[in-house]
Structures are given as C-alpha cells and as structure tokens.
Amino acid sequence: MNHGSRYRIDFPAADRLDRSFVDGLPGIEFRWWEPLARHTTFRVGGPVWCLARPRDEDALESLMKRVRERSIPCVVLGGGSNVLAPDEPWEVLAVQLNLACSGLVVEDLEGGGVQVHAGAGVGLSRLLRCCLRSGLGGLEFLVGIPGSIGGALVMNAGTRDGCMHDVLEWVELMDRGGRRRRLNVSEIPGGYRSMGLPEGWIVLMACLNLRRTPVARAKAAMRDIMKKRRSGQPVEWASAGCVFKNPPSLSAGELIDRAGLKGFRVGDAEVSTKHANWIINRGRATASDILCLIRHIEGEVFRMFGVSLEREIRVLESQPGT
C-alpha cells in the first residue's frame, strides 16, 4: 500500500551537534531540546536537539549556510499544522519561519488590481484578518484552516471553492544552502494537495492576486464558511486537519466512515465522530497512538474496499544511528 509522505532523517555524528554550531550566528533564537508538542497542532512530539527561530531572512540565510557546511540534519517546521512529530528525542535542527518571514503588505495595482505580499511565516488567520480590514476577497477558502502561508503553499491548501495555486502570482524560495530563487505561477504545476515546488527548497514569500470586496460581504462569507466548518469538522480539538488525501472520485472520509471507524480509538487518539478523515487528540495522545491509528485505518480501508489511502500529513520519523 502507498502510505504517502514520510520524512526520515538519520541521526548525525555527535561532533556535528556541538553547541559551537551557533558561534557567529547573530539574530537567531536557539532553544535546546525543545519539545515539538509545543509547536504542532496535534500537540504531540518529543524534544529536538535545537529549535532555531531566525529574526530575519539574512539570519535565515546564514543559518542555512552553516547547516550545509556542517551537514546538520534539518527540518523546516512552519506552523506545525500538517505534521506528526516523533515521541522520542530527535537529534535534528528544527527551523521556524514565523519571525524571519513575517511580512504582510497590500499593494494596489494600476487598473484596479490588488496584490498581497505575504511571508511564509504569516499565520493564515492573520492573513485573513488583513484581508477583512483591507476589503479583499479571494482567500475565503482558507477560513478555518490552521497553519501558515508556507505550509499552505507547499500543500496547495484549498477546498472545492479554490486553492492557493488559483491566487498565486509568484513565490520566493531559498535552498538549504541559502541561495534564493523566484518562480512565477506559470513555472509551478500545482495539483491536489501539492504545489509541485522544488524538493528541499524553503518558501520565503508569496505574491497573491486578490480582489476588492465590500468588507460586510467578506465578513458574511467568512462567517458562513466557518459556521459550516464548525458543524462538520472537530475544529475544537487538537488535530492536523484531514489525514488522508481523497482517492480519485472518492472521499477518504466516506470510506473510513463506511469501514465503521468513526470513534475508533488508540489511546487518546480518536477518529473524529464529526469527520472520519480527522484524527483528534483527546488530551494525552502520543505520536505512536496516532500513527498506530493511521495504520489501522489504512489497513481496514484496504481490506474492505481495496483502496490504498495516501497520507496528506507528513510523518516525521527519526532513525537512530548504529
């Protein structure tokens, strides 16, 4: 079966993880052995060797150059909304972009158009509030989706009403060595739950094409979408949103429901009774609980319907060295 996205990083040699790594790297906040449970929407995850929060793009560039020089294993965490982090201590550098890539600028264009330049670390809720204040429409499909611009771009977040590729003008990227690159939307394929960006590159900023909309109309539309989400999705619980991609012409949630798995639990991880494609943390779930539940769902759906579900979330897995 196709279990979808996994992200595995080998444990490095101990001499590469000396704290001298930070020497000569100003403008970066470092947190040693920081629990990822504090930084993921599932609220699970053990400590990483170091969590780095660069304060601007120059500091991020310096950090990534150091990472390449020393071959430090690195993962960009973003808003932590679409990942399952491991329970065990993880000898890896996790990088957050919420400080380095926090810009949000509205620009009026000749001819009546409007664009928003949004940093990858900008939360989707902040972006939507900006749209409301500025009377902008076009991003209503993001209402109620957790996370940040960067993650939304990588995953081409959206609903049947639209997706990020629909409003994208260009995206600015940085590779793991600090080199920058800008891609226009015509160079980016876009697809279901994937923007098709170059593998391993970090999203820095995006330019989005929006439209002027009366504030009252935008508020009403967002309020209606949020009301529907609350009635049909367990947004009140810690989760990562939809766990699986919809198979062609099928609904993953419907398949899981038909398999009789709504309410099925492993520890404190539960298949939501509101929406079967959501797994919720009822308070004390571990990553192991959630992963065990994911595998059980995959097995039951394949056994009953012959359908291999593909994961929408990234399962971050550490691999101890020998």
Give me Rg for the CA atoms of the chain.
20
Q: Verify whether residue 193 is a known catalytic residue.
A: yes
Alpha helices in 136-214 (DSSP H): 149-154, 164-167
CB pairs under 8 A, 24+ apart, for 102-109? 103/205, 104/130, 106/130, 106/134, 106/136
Using CA of residue 231, residue 298, residue 158, residue 102, what is the dihedral sign? positive
Is-contact 114 210, C-beta < 8 A?
Answer: yes
What's the number of CA atoms in the CB half-sphere (13 Å) around residue 180? 10
From the list 57, 91, 298, 312, the catalytic residue is 312
Distance, CA of 193 to CA of 64 (rounded, Å): 27
From the list 91, 242, 270, 311, the catalytic residue is 242
Q: Verify whether residue 242 is a known catalytic residue.
A: yes
Three-state SS for 290? helix
From the list 66, 193, 311, 314, the catalytic residue is 193
Longest CA pairwise span in the chain (Å): 62
Q: Which residues are marked as active site?
A: 193, 242, 312
